[in-house]
Chains A and B, each alone.
Chain A
Amino acid sequence: MRTGHSRIRRWLAGLAFVLLPVSACGDLPRDPEGSLERARGSVLRVGASGAPPWIARSSAVGPLVSGNADRSVEDPATGPEADLVRGFAHSIGSRVTWIWGPLDEHMERLQRFELDLVAAGLTEQTAWQGKVGLTTPWLEEAGWKRVLAVAPGENALLTALERYIRERTDALRSAADSVGAP
């Protein structure tokens, strides 16, 4: 019995040895691809698809340049989801580069870390669930849980965005009411 107890004590001590320094670091989780760090003081690359009234392009005709990322156009997006993303970007000292396009393309790019977020009126039930990171719902209305998509595994970015969302649940609710959500 004695040897057994000392063994238990030994591995508990070992575990504490491993965990304590780790939990002392407040900056966990970190991003494997460094998205949050890169976005700070720079741009947040957001793939957007029109999903009124949550997010829409203010001018239907934008200067679309065909081709790759140059398609990004800094036209102001409107709607509560757009405001949420803009507000978050501001909170981390970043600004949003909106990239408008079809959702499937955005999601493919998000998985290749060519985008940081996708805002497209997504719900928690999206078919992309499991392939990309989904935030906690920023709005629950009529049984729909509205979420944003984050590059997969970029947990620092996801955590920062979720903290931002959780702090603003009420404000988001009233913003949604003002655009006529049920």
Chain B
Amino acid sequence: MKVRHGFELPKELEPELRRAVRLEWTTLGFMVSIVTVIYLAMGGSQAMKAAWIEDLLSFIPPVAFLISTRYRDRAPNADFPYGYHRSVSIAFLAGAVALALFGGFILIDSVMTLAHREHPSIGTTVVFGRTIWAGWLMVAALGYSMIPPLILGRLKLGPARALHDKTLKADADMNKADWLTGGAGIVGIVGVGLGFWWADAVAAGVISLDIVKDGFQNVKRVVQDLMDRSPTTVEGERSDIAERAREALLVLSWVQHAEVRLREEGHVFTGEAFVVPTCFDATDLPTRFDEARDRLHALDWRMHDIVLTIVEADELIGDESPETS
């Protein structure tokens, strides 16, 4: 069986990748500390529980990213001739679905709390030998949870754009929005302190809406990825790479018509190019195909494993895309 070539990142991008990996490990380290701190300070607050779930949610993109960088080096083999990228997408999907459902559960829970008029009890705790209201500890924990993701999220945007890595981009976006969770939680706890029993549940509801939104966006993104959507930029706009590939083929003297179909697999574009040759001479066909493939792969560092096929002219003309039909 012919298995794919392994994909190699261009040399000049390797520092960006190393930087991204370092940032993601740093993120994991901070997230572990944040999740621990929030868990320890949680008490009976629903807002804290929601913030905790939100923090768990932000584990998925870094873990998915780090696993995918590890698997990036793993070559396709006879059992998995297309390589390993999809396994990461599937893991990402499972995680995102689970946490989106979790967010929905907390949302229902906080609505029920409001409906039943359940008052949250927050007592005292001892810090350095002093008895303080536990709410202050929660506020401190939430305050801590706001700062590292905000900084890390900004730092990740650069590598995300350079590497065209959507997992990294999703992660950066989630991190950047994370301070809203902490802020909502703080408002909730302080609200309870001021004697508004409903503030905690309302804050939990706001946070869970954000979790559901994050989860839904992650699910949508990874499902589109698994459905072989045509390539997009990290900002989610449609890329013109397929059109540019078609034009690159049309420049060739022996190509009469050409169409290109691409999908994204993780960081790379793969797919098929269909060409209608002007003349047909079987002897120099391999050379011409090599040349065409080289042109396609030179268009972008992400072009990988493009399969060239010869078709008859009427096959391409009859093959209209939905927008033009």
Across the interface, which residues of B come within 8 angstroms of A85, CB to CB? Answer: none
Q: Is A87 an interface residue (CB 8 A)?
A: no
Q: How far is the CB of A1 from chain B (nearest CB, A)?
A: 8
Across the interface, do B123 and A166 meet the contact criterion of CB distance under 8 Å? no
Across the interface, which residues of A come within 8 angstroms of B143, CB to CB? Answer: 15
Across the interface, which residues of B come within 8 angstroms of A163, CB to CB? Answer: 124, 131
Q: How far, in whole Å, are A144 and B136 apart by their CA atoms in the complex? A: 28
Q: How far, in whole Å, are A3 and B196 apart by their CA atoms in the complex? A: 36
Interface size on A, residues (CB 8 A): 32
**Partner of A155 from B122, B126, B150, B190 at Cβ < 8 Å:** B122
Across the interface, do A28 and B126 meet the contact criterion of CB distance under 8 Å? no
Q: How far is the CB of A170 from chain B (nearest CB, A)?
A: 15
Q: Is A118 an interface residue (CB 8 A)?
A: no
Q: How far is the CB of A67 from chain B (nearest CB, A)?
A: 27
Q: How far is the CB of A160 from chain B (nearest CB, A)?
A: 9
Interface residues on B, range: 20 to 34
Q: A4-B154, A15-B183, A166-B126 are in contact. Are A158 and B121 (CB under 8 A)?
A: yes
Q: How far, in whole Å, are A133 and B118 apart by their CA atoms in the complex? A: 11
**Partner of A19 from B122, B154, B190, B196 at Cβ < 8 Å:** B190
Across the interface, do B124 and A136 meet the contact criterion of CB distance under 8 Å? yes
Across the interface, which residues of B come within 8 angstroms of A159, CB to CB? Answer: 123-124, 133
B23-35 near A? 1/0 per residue, CB < 8 Å? 0000000000000
Across the interface, which residues of A come within 8 angstroms of B124, CB to CB? Answer: 136, 158-159, 162-163, 166
Q: How far, in whole Å, are A18 and B188 apart by their CA atoms in the complex? A: 13
Across the interface, which residues of A come within 8 angstroms of B126, CB to CB? Answer: 166
Q: Is A154 an interface residue (CB 8 A)?
A: yes
Across the interface, which residues of B come within 8 angstroms of A11, CB to CB? Answer: 179
**Partner of A30 from B44, B136, B195 at Cβ < 8 Å:** B195
Q: A153-B119, A155-B121, A162-B124 are in contact. Are A32 and B196 (CB under 8 A)?
A: yes
Across the interface, which residues of B come within 8 angstroms of A136, CB to CB? Answer: 123-124
Q: Is B139 an interface residue (CB 8 A)?
A: yes
Q: Is A135 an interface residue (CB 8 A)?
A: yes
Q: Is B148 an interface residue (CB 8 A)?
A: no
Q: Is A130 an interface residue (CB 8 A)?
A: yes
Q: How far is the CB of B112 from chain A (nearest CB, A)?
A: 13
A80-104 near B? 1/0 per residue, CB < 8 Å? 0000000000000000000000000
7 contacts between A and B (CB under 8 A): A8-B150, A28-B133, A29-B135, A30-B195, A131-B118, A153-B120, A158-B122
Known A18-B187, A162-B123; further 14 A-B contacts with Cβ < 8 A:
A18-B190, A23-B136, A28-B135, A29-B194, A33-B119, A130-B44, A131-B118, A133-B121, A133-B123, A150-B121, A151-B119, A154-B121, A158-B121, A159-B123
- 5 A-B pairs closest in CB distance: A153-B119, A133-B121, A30-B195, A28-B193, A32-B197
